[in-house]
Structure 1
Amino acid sequence: MLEIRWHSRAGQGAVTGAKGLGSVVAETGKEVQAFAFYGSAKRGASMTAYNRIDDKTILNHEKYMVPDYVFILDPALVFTDDFTANEKESTQYIITTHLKKDELIALVPALAGREDRVFILDCFTIAQETIGRPIPNTPMLGAFMKISGMFDIHVFQDAMKSVLKKLPQKIIDANMVAIERAFNEVH
């Protein structure tokens, strides 16, 4: 089973991103869960969202997981959230930050010893410059496609277009640019 934990603030699109990823994966015939856990339900409050993906029926409906991937959509959360909780030795971290990787690791002791499993990009800048709003969920998914290799980037973009189909075409197109840019910029 593949497990993903999203660390975000309410209003940054983690729930929408988790559901969007779930919708894309479900179309392949896999079993999927996408859900969230909110503290206070106020915009800006710290929250987590989750995905589980498996070939067989998923019977576990708890928020507890041993994640394969951890997405950190808000850079400040590396200082406040216990984002390494229940990690595996192979858990990979995709973190939005404007810092260089070595600068981030120097500031966040929890990342020490995990350098080869930490990937960074500035999802806020990508979202602002492409979509026009600082909502980092689709850039994070573009980075995830690069790191995980789950889908070819163009296959993923095509699938996401159907997930976003209720939005104006201009916004769908901007999200596709954000996904591709994040795919190319994550390192």
Structure 2
Amino acid sequence: MLEIRWHSRAGQGAVTGAKGLADVIAGTGKEVQAFAFYGSAKRGAAMTAYNRIDDQAILNHEKFMNPDYVLVIDPGLTYITDICANEKSSTKYIITTHLSKEELLAKKPDLAGKEVYVLDCIQISLDTLGKAIPNAPMLGAFIKVSGALELDFFLNAFKKVLGKKLPQKVIDANMVAIKRAYDEVK
């Protein structure tokens, strides 16, 4: 079973990202879960979202997990939340930050020796969408790092997911954000 934990602030799109990822992967025939845990249900409050992906029925409905991937879409949460909680030795971290990987590791030494990828999802979303909703760039980075799906397949499937709710201009901007993050994650 593949487990993913998202660290975000309410309003940054982690729940939408987790559900969108689940929708795309469900279309491949896999079993999926997407859910969230909110401390305070107000915009800007720290929150976590979760995905589980498996070939078999998923019977575990608890928020506790040992994540294979930790996706941090709010840079500040890297320092004030225990993003390493319940990690595996193989957990991969994808963190949005304007810092280089070396600068991030110097400021967050408990990530040293772990598989860490960085990119600036906030800047990508500002450049492409005009606002700081970094979930789409994080999905692009996840697709690249995980190799879970081919980029073109993901983009086509995600367009259909977004097409249910958004105008074409916003869908197109999300596609640009995903591609750019896919290319920029290091």
Please show how residues 10-159 of structure 1 align to structure 2 within 5 Å. Answer: 10-114=10-114, 117-159=115-157
Separation (CA, whole Å) in 2 of partners of 1:153 and 1:131? 20
1:164 aligned counterpart, secondary structure = helix
After TM superposition, the score normalised by the length of structure 1 is 0.98
Separation (CA, whole Å) in 1 of partners of 2:108 and 2:124? 23
Aligned residues with identical type, % of pairs: 69
Report how far residue 112 of structure 1 moved.
Answer: 1.6
2:51 aligned counterpart, secondary structure = strand
Separation (CA, whole Å) in 2 of partners of 1:39 and 1:93? 22
| Aligned structure 1 segments of 4 or more residues deviating by more than 2 angstroms | none
1:103 aligned counterpart, secondary structure = helix
Partner residue of 2:180? 181
Task: Provide structure 2 residue ranges, at least 5 long, that are not aligned to the other structure.
Answer: none
| Equivalent AA in structure 1 for residue 67 of structure 2 | P
Partner residue of 2:4? 4
Task: Provide structure 1 residue ranges, at least 5 long, that are not aligned to the other structure.
Answer: none
Separation (CA, whole Å) in 2 of partners of 1:150 and 1:59? 22
Separation (CA, whole Å) in 1 of partners of 2:142 and 2:110? 21
2:176 aligned counterpart, secondary structure = helix
Report how far residue 132 of structure 1 moved.
Answer: 1.0
Report how far residue 133 of structure 1 moved.
Answer: 1.1
Separation (CA, whole Å) in 2 of partners of 1:183 and 1:173? 15
CA RMSD in angstroms comes to 0.5
Separation (CA, whole Å) in 1 of partners of 2:33 and 2:150? 22
Report how far residue 143 of structure 1 moved.
Answer: 0.3
